[in-house]
Amino acid sequence: MAKTPERRTDPNQVVPGARSVLAFATSYRSGEAPPGDRLRAELRGKVARYAWSQDYHDVLTKELRDIVAAVEKEAGVDGNKTYVDTGPVLERDIAVRAGLGFASKNTNLIRPGDGSFLFLGAGISKAEIDPTPSDARPGCGSCRICLDDCPTKAIVAPHVVDARLCISYLTIELRGAIPRHLRRAIGAWVFGCDVCQDVCPWNAAGKADARPEFRARSEEDTAPSLPALLALDDDGFRRRFKGTPVLRTKRRGLLRNAAVALGNHRDPRGTPPLQSALLDPEPLVRGHAAWALGEIALHAGDAAARAALATARAREADPAVREEIESALAAC
């Protein structure tokens, strides 16, 4: 974002002759994830709500294009650009200026009555449209629940998130190894994180009214089985998550995350799938499986987990994976 700030703050840099920006928001909140005790009992992980269903980019982009095109046809102009988290626009700030809500301390847009589980979009148009008044005022007051409850303390100050600490970044955008000192804080999250939204009082009062396209089809969408995730090959991963946001993390990223979540459950039942993951073709997966086995050996006293690490040490050729195995063995 820092590379082209002028394109993000001046719509004319994107659409020459732009006169208006249209802001859009739609709720994706629906249902609840299983409670933590069930996740542990069934060795399940957690997926952020926005990824429970169809990819919002695919669903909303065409709709926004049709709406903005209809506006421009009425105005007798053309040449718009529409974005759903895909281009050089600051959707949240645009939404605030358009009166759709206020920016919260966890940096999300909150719309009173709906909360913050919102997809945002923007259309830059040459049509000259009277602006809607923005009466949105900061509504967090002295509340700091999101700052205090963030597992990795990624919200370093009100309205400031250190992305390098954010679980959503760590489980989706980060392509390499998750820093070891942050792995325990990730808990059972395998794709994204909703903690700062789940604890927000505005969401406690919000209504669950997501469109059918954004509702989970089954519990496997909201809380997938971790052993089942670790068993996915490339084809299985693509089939299972076709048309969903989870594809973004790629197979090796999702299995990396599943290994960490299984390690955080600290349950000996996780040893067999993690032992199999030590043979995965991806070093990233093998390394995190080694860490997870170390957690099970350390906290559950599982001899099988320690034996699996010792066996893997004898055959592992990748230096980074060997280091993970040595560290896990040393810890337990």
Splitting the chain (332 residues) into consecutive groups of 10 residues, what average pLDDT does each group show?
85 94 93 89 97 93 94 93 90 94 96 93 94 83 97 97 97 97 98 97 81 89 97 98 96 98 98 98 98 98 98 98 98 89
List CB contacts of 208: < 8 A, sequence separation 6 or more. 29, 30, 31
What pLDDT score was predicted for residue 243? 94
Question: What do you get for the CA distance between the two ends of the chain, in Å?
Answer: 42
Angle value at C-alpha 191, between 140 and 25, nearest 5 degrees: 45
What pLDDT score was predicted for residue 177? 98
Report phi then psi at 10, rounded to 5. Answer: -130, 100
What pLDDT score was predicted for residue 208? 65
Token pair of 73, please?
A: 């046809």
Compute the distance between CA of residue 192 and CA of residue 186 in angstroms, rounded to an integer. 10
The SS3 assignment for 196 reads: helix
Number of other CB atoms surrounding residue 1 within 10 Å: 8
Q: Is 302 a catalytic residue?
A: no
Q: Which CATH class is domain 145-207+216-331?
A: mainly alpha
Choice among 78, 85, 114, 318 that is catalytic:
85
The one-letter amino acid at 91: E
Strand segments (E) across the chain: 20-27, 46-47, 81-83, 102-103, 109-110, 118-125, 155-157, 160-161, 189-191
The model carries a pTM of 0.94
Report phi then psi at 160, rounded to 5. Answer: -130, 120
